[in-house]
Amino acid sequence: MSDFDVNPKKLVVFKLGSKYVFKQYFDQKEIFSKLGDYYNQSKYRFEFTEPDKDHVFDTLNEHYYRPQITHELTPYCVGKERYTKHASILKNSVSQRMIQDYNIFLMKDSFSVEKAIQDGATPVKELEIERTTDEICDPKKWK
């Protein structure tokens, strides 16, 4: 039995099509080296498929992360008008796409959604777009 209690950190994992994805900065080299094969450098995120899910989740659990799969993207989707500054929002997003005159971002967690709103983004359900929120936030349409 350990001498101290550790509260695992919640980590949101998105199911996008056939992939699971998440974005997290690990300050421990050990965990990054264990998961390095799943890191997509061009998208700055971790990606894996069903056969690797148990291994990735076990590794995260060993390092006091509590991965939670979500299929509901709407609470994590925000938009910002195209051609406006959005680097701070992009930095904390898992994925990004353009719809009409908006950049739509899938944010890595609830805190990042709040920060994006402070930086000028709008929750996708409040945007005036000709598509429904369900269409915009459909996990099959994100890459």
136 has pLDDT over 80: yes
- Extract the tokens encoding 130: 């000709």
- Extract the tokens encoding 95: 């994925």
Phi, then psi, of 95 in degrees rounded to 5:
-155, 160
Q: What is the pLDDT of residue 15?
A: 95
Q: What 3-state class would DSSP assign to 127?
A: coil
**Domains, the chain, ordered by start:** 9-70 (no CATH), 74-141 (3.30.70)
The predicted-structure confidence for 74-89, as pLDDT tens digits, reads as follows 999 999 999 999 999 9
1 has pLDDT over 50: no
Give every CB contact of residue 138 below 8 A, 6+ residues apart in sequence: 73
- Extract the tokens encoding 104: 């739509």
The predicted-structure confidence for 18-76, as pLDDT tens digits, reads as follows 999 999 998 888 999 999 999 999 999 999 999 999 999 999 999 999 999 998 999 99
CA dist list (Å): 87 to 32, 70, 76, 115: 24, 25, 17, 12
What kind and span of H or E run contains 116? helix 110-118
